[in-house]
């Protein structure tokens, strides 16, 4: 394995871990905001602030891209339904705030959210949903689901029996 490939993999792992930390931070802060208002209001605030930050990032990235290559322009247009990703995002924030303000801890809610992501990812891969390449579900995938489910149960119920 080349150093570039290894560096790329390490970078991807670190970016994914940072994304997970930021997701947990977002869910925790939104659940606190929901306690002082409601989950829908907290989601609206989170997405409003997120949109403002994303706009600033777009401006910075586009400016840097134009400096590097002023003539670079992508003529490809995404299908309209690709722009609907904000809908599950808003629902994720709202449902997470409801779950965390119930009996689940932050870590328990995130563990179950991970289980949902793994299950949807497997089904998406298996059926080729959302233009994903098809990949058959194999026995190892079921072991993964069992491990995530077991880990989720340990996080949620483990401290109650200790």
Strands (E), the chain: none
Contact 134, 67 (CB under 8 A): no
**pTM here?**
0.76
Q: What is the pLDDT along the chain (162 residues), one digit of tens a residue?
A: 777 788 889 999 999 999 999 999 999 999 999 999 999 999 899 889 999 999 999 999 988 888 877 665 566 788 888 888 888 988 888 899 899 888 888 999 999 999 999 999 999 999 999 888 999 999 999 999 999 999 999 999 987 766
For tokens 């003529």, the residue is 75
């Amino acid at each position: 394995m080349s150093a570039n490939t290894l560096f790329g993999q390490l970078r991807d792992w670190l970016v994914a871990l940072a994304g997970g930390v930021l997701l947990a931070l977002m869910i925790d802060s939104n659940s606190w905001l929901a306690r002082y208002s409601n989950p829908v209001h907290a989601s609206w605030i989170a997405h409003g602030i997120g949109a403002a930050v994303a706009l600033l990032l777009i401006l910075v990235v586009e400016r840097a891209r134009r400096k590097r290559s002023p003539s670079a322009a992508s003529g490809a247009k995404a299908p309209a339904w690709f722009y609907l990703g904000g809908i599950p995002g808003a629902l994720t924030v709202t449902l997470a705030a409801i779950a965390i303000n119930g009996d689940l801890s932050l870590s328990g809610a995130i563990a179950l959210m991970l289980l949902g992501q793994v299950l949807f990812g497997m089904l998406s891969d298996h059926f080729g949903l959302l233009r994903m390449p098809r990949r058959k579900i194999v026995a190892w995938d079921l072991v993964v689901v069992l491990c995530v489910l077991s880990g989720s149960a340990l996080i949620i119920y483990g401290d109650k029996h200790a």
